[in-house]
Structures are given as structure tokens and as C-alpha cells.
Amino acid sequence: MSDAVKNRADTRAAIVESAAGLLREGGPQAVTTRGVADRAGVQAPTIYRLFGDKDGLLEAVAEHVMAGFVSDKAAVVAAATAADADPLDDLRTSWRKQIEFGLANPAVFRLLSDPERVLGSPAARLGRQILEKRVHRLAAAGLLRVTEPHAVDLIQAAGVGTVQTLLATPAALRDPALGEAMMDAVLSRILTDAPAEGPSGPRAPAVALRALAPQLEMLSPSERQLLVEWLDRIAESPA
């Protein structure tokens, strides 16, 4: 790496870190060009040259903060998988951390809750992939009675909605049990042991076998593909 490229990267990192601090302390309105420039020790034109405008800088900051959080989540998933930890406990722990992160970083959460920003966010995509891995572990353990994509969508939608509801409520009036109640509601919909829904019929075994299908090397690729199609049809069928 040339000195010029390294200096540019270092300058960019210093600006993002400075803006992140201002964002945490005072929200998006605190992230002014002058304030960021003063804290980072750069000239204002440098910010425009590297980020285009304030919105571009905010996107970079949100991505930076979210990427750090997602990186920690990825490490936790790897450790839980290696230790063969209970997949349901792992999901609950992840859910709580996600709610805590959203409440602790409201500006970042709101920025990345914008559908257009999410579509272009590598950190958001990686976060979904990590959730997919957690849900896959539930399916492989025979605990899931809906398809993996449907379970991921439900969990993600419930998480975003929970944080948005709590952030829209004055801190003193927030229901501290809302997060756990919402998690229980989602789990009652996606898990095989949901008493309110009755027996799950063939769907739970189909979902579990679907999670393991790629590992069935005794079958040819075309046979595995056909098996996956059959299992998806069973898993997506009405109860």
C-alpha cells in the first residue's frame, strides 16, 4: 500500500470515528461538517472530497458502527456452533443483543432501517446471513416447523418493529418486557413445540431434513435438488 493510499484510509477512518462519536452524543443533527472536521483534525473540504456530502458521511458512519456489531455477532455464532451450544438459547441471546444495540444506537438503527439503505449495506446483508445461520441450526435440530426463509423474515420483522416501537416511546414509559414478549410470540409461530398451534404434522420433519439435504452426499446433485423441491413443497403447504 502506498503512503498516499494509507494516508487517505487513515484520514477517512479518523473522520468516520469522529462523526460516530458526535452521532452517539447528539444524533444526526450533531454531525456537522465543522464539528467533524474539528474533531478529526482535518479541513472541511476533505470531508466533501471523501464522502460527497453529510448524507454520505452518515451512511459511512452507520455502516462502520453496524459492521463492528455484526462482526461480534459472527464470532459468537462461530463459537456457539463449535461448542454445539443450544440453538434456541443462542437465538434468544442474539435477539436481546439486537434490541439492546438498537436502543443504544438509535441514530444508526434509524439510518439502517431505511429499506433503500439496507439494500446497499454490506453490514446489513451480513447481519441477515448470520441470522440465517442461527435459524438453520434450529431447523437442523428439528425445532423449526416453518421454512427457514419464513422464520428469518418473521424474526427480522419483529426485531425491527420492537426497536421502532420502543424508540418511539419515552424512555420512562417503555415496557421492559416487550422484547421478550415479542420473541415468545415469534417462537410460538415458528417452533415445533408451539402448544397453541397443535401438531405440526409432516412440516417439521420436512424442514429438518431440508436443512440437512445439502449434506446427503450419497445422493447425486440432481437427486438432492429434487429432494429439496419436494421438502420445500411439504414445508410450505398449509397446516
Sign of the CA dihedral running 24, 25, 29, 35: negative
Q: Per mean pLDDT, which range of 74-78, 89-93, 180-184 is the poorest?
A: 74-78
Binned at pLDDT 50, 70 and 90, residue 131 comes out as very high
Q: How far is CA 129 from CA 17, 133, 208, in A?
A: 26, 6, 19
Looking at residue 213, the DSSP 8-state letter turns out to be G
User: Tens digit of pLDDT for each residue in 9-40?
Assistant: 889 999 999 999 888 888 888 888 899 999 99
What single-letter DSSP state applies at residue 113?
Answer: T
The b/e string for 80-93 (b: 16+ C-beta within 10 A; e otherwise) is: beeeeeebbebbee
pLDDT over 70 percentage in the chain = 92
**What is the pLDDT at residue 160?**
94
In tens, the pLDDT along 107-119 reads 888 887 878 777 7
Cα separations in angstroms, 10 against 13, 15, 79: 5, 9, 31
pLDDT tens digit string along 152-173?
999 999 999 999 999 999 999 9
Contact 158, 182 (CB under 8 A): yes
Domain ranges of the chain: 87-235
- Mean pLDDT score across all residues of the chain: 85
- Inter-residue contact 147 to 207 (CB < 8 Å): yes
